[in-house]
Structure 1
Amino acid sequence: MKRKSLAYKVSLYVFTIMVIFLVGIGGFYYAMASQIIVDMTEKNTKQVLDRVNHDLSSYLERLRQSTYALSNNESIRSYMLHETTENKNTSLEIIHTFLKTDSQFLSIVLITKDGRVLSNLDSMDMSLSKNMMEEEWYTEAIKQKGVAVLTSMKRKQDNKEIQVISMTQDIHDEKGENIGVLRMDVSSDSIDDYLQQLNLQDNGELFIVDQTNRILYQSANQTEEVRHNLSEIMRIKETEMGYMNGQYTYVQSNKLGKSTWELVAVVPLSELKDVQLHLLVAFSLSGIFIFVVTGGVLLILIRKWTRPLKELQQTMHQIEHGDYSARAVIQGSEEVQDLSLYFNRMLDEINRLLEGIKEKERDIRYFELQALTSQINPHFLYNTLDTIIWMAEFNDSQKVVSMTKALAQFFRLSLNAGNELMTLENEFDHIRQYLFIQKQRYEEQLEYEITLLEKCKDIKVPRLILQPIVENAIYHGIKGLDRKGMIRVFMTETDTHYGITIEDNGRGIKQTTKDMTSHKRLGGVGLQNVDERLRLYYGQPYKMDIVSQENTYTAITLWLPKNQNL
């Protein structure tokens, strides 16, 4: 899984905290603003209801006083006890006069105990009076014994059914015995006029109910939702105030003065929904704006703060890939500067330690090479002296002199004034002296050919790298051969390496395996020593190739890298 950068992680944490903070703050103010609107709606609705309740109660109290005054009028009481033409006309005159005082008064009806009816309405007769005496409003007025009773009913007027408010009161004689009932009908428009003051918003509902929760009056804009929730509205009405429909409909009730009626207002909080939506949009847009602006600024700052760490990381990658000279730039905050400073000091100390290790490795390599060289020199000397002894036994003084001069030159070049490195020109001269000595021994059985590239004469190489290979070619390839032996030493060149090849036409190496290590092992100690020495000097770029065919030839090529002049 791909690792996340420090800038990414810090940005993610900061932005997450910002989102949580903005959502939390926005939600808090959103809820607080919504509650303020609810509280204001409750307060305003209560204030309006209280005012309308006061006005409407005053109006109903005036109606009660009017019915009380009429019920105690001597002429009307006289008519109720005993009808005469005079008291009847006087009572009608009083009724008409009273109706003129208020245009909302529709009718006044007197119903005697014996079933007589007197009213400003000509349509009421005795047949109707029996029905009226059986109606609830009539019986209720009798029960209240002199206390006016407020009721609501529907009646026909001009062939239309209208809603009226009726105030009924029992009329009794001096002994307190019932002698009839007075009923005053008032148009419901009078109540509508008072209720116009109540601002219930566009879809507000208004009810007037009695003590049995029977609806006596309701506003004209009743919605389907309210009709379906009438029982819920009446339940909330019992607690004076409350909510329904998920807190989006407010219900409040007030008792109308001394009556048994209650004024119930149902206020849909559509304003709350609108404000909540506006607040949600406003907080969302504000949050997005703050998030984008603040987030952008923080992102720039985070990248600025983490850039030194990023550059320090890149410096570490450079060092990881071998660039030990790379150093961190001292920049950024105090902590990052200290980190870069201590990192650079650590690198300097590591480089110092590495140089010390390299120096020790060079010393170790030098002593190893010296040890390998010391293994070769006694071997050279033994083989060379063996040849001279062989020639001296035959008293061939001229050849002994030539051999001795060649041996002297051979050892002069071998010692190389104590230097471990020698030029290729001297290295080739060294094997030339060696082959001259061996030629004296093997005579016609051995021929040799040495070719050095002119431009390579001054190239320095570890001393004594060719003589052991040539020696192996003689002793393991040419010696005992039933045909003339030929040793060729020559150079080749590629774009990256110089090749020195020692080739013989001897017995070859038995091909038991193609593994190069096995070939080197079969080539003897000398070949392995040369390979180890050159590998210590040149490292990985150096390589040795061995190509051989049994009873045909062997060719050994040393590939020396061009870019590592010693």
Structure 2
Amino acid sequence: MINKSKPQRYISFGKKLFVSYMALLIIPIFVIGYYSYTSSIKSFKEKTRSTIHGTLSQIRDNIDYKMDAIKNISDDLYFDQTMQDILSTYEEDYFSYDNMSHYLSPKLTNIVNSAISDIWVNLYIDNSNVPEIFFNRGNEINPLSAGKDFEIMHKERLEAQEWYRNFNYPDEVYGQTLVWSQVDKDTDFGNVSLLRRLINFNNSNKEIGFIRIITRISDLFKSVDYKKITETSSLVILNENGKKIYYSSPEGEFNVQNSHSDDYLIIEEELSGLNWKLLAYIPQSFFQENADKVRNVIFIVCIINLLILIMVGALFSRYFTRRVTKIIMTANYFREGDFYKRIHFKSRDEFSEIGDAFNDMGKNIEALIQNLYVSNLQKKEAELESLQAQINPHFLYNTLSSISQLAKFGELQKLQKTVLGLAKFYRLSLNEGRIFTTVDKEIEHAKTYVGLQKVKYEDHLQVLYDIDPQVLQYKTIKLILQPFIENALQHAWFGDQINIRITVQLVDENIVFRIIDDGVGISREILEQILDLNGVQIGYGIRNVDMRVKLQFGEEYGVALFSRRGIGTSVSISIPISRD
């Protein structure tokens, strides 16, 4: 193994003088660059703050426009003298129904249909003679889920609601008093309501009803879009209690409590009529990105100047030191294990002599490494072929013994089937002299062996196969399944019946063969002896396969055993996937 030690770093005397000279140039450039950098950042922050203030003002004006549109709807009801007269007159049922069908209902229909967004108008009236129009939908359904509509209900329904009883409504000022608030289920549904009394001006400003216009917060604040500020900013609307009721953020959920002024530039705008605040959170990283751009420009300008000076000095230094540098570089390549690097000098002098010596040394070391590699490879292949050859004679001895018994007892049909199976078995075993075969042929080889044993054991032997079709064309070394099947038939019988299951699966870029039997199992002591390479030499077939796999693929692959007495044995053989 080549020891790739890290080369020692040093600074030559000429470079030290050069660095001292460059320091005198760098200091004034750094001072000027730093001053330019800080001035640019300060100017950028001031300009950004001014721009964002203007954008927030536009967003606020858009919100005011939508609020005014809903307020105008309430004004249409508030200042309607005809509606005041109808609601203040206690007529018989027919006249009340006629007023409802010919005036109130058409008016409210026109109002909701003319709205620029979905609204729901609830008109609560004191006059119990006027018939009601409402939907029996329950409190758990958002009224705006059905779109635009209205309801007319008697005021006692409103007075029965807890939010109205607890609501602190301000004193009435003609034409001005109204309240925007989230009441009842508005918070749950993402709505906000405009609340306003309905007054009869001709009767000492007597309250004759109550108006509630519901609209979606998302419709009211549709213009609140963080992209209008920056791609990384967040816009948040807080109510009078400082609670977040709406936000627009690239991060999805935005946590106001965790957003400190150290991390964000915070700009605030008041929303008139709501006593709410519109806040913009611009992350300091936004300014940092622009600061980085300015810094990079200044840095590039400084670097260009320095590079010009460095190039002038480097030309002289390179002229005298390039040959020494080439030799040092080649020596470092050799130290890192790259012996293919060569040195070539045009002139014939001491440097060319050193170069020739380096080249000869590289060729010699390269030849030694190649010879050692080939030698180890040949040794490994010889060991693998030796282990491979040890399996076939063992099986051949057992099979010829079975053929002898069949001939002795005159079972010619079984004899013929056994001989044909043996021929196929050895054709697959020989594999034209190749150590490697495909998983498909290895399974066919195992099935041939099982067929030979079925002649002997008949229905007392049952073998099931579970093969993943994906693994069939991958490469494996031959004769890794048959030894374990043979081992089970020799040692695992528990009664007059044995069942064997053979699976081949693709597991984490590895191919895993499993041979599972329900035989007598292996005791813990025997299992430990099999797995102990330095112990008693038992489990020959198991060790043979394990050694062949490790020789070919490495120590991380091979055979694993699990067994319990009276339960059975499970053998796992893992190899890497390969098509070559």
Using the size of structure 2 for normalisation, the TM-score is 0.41
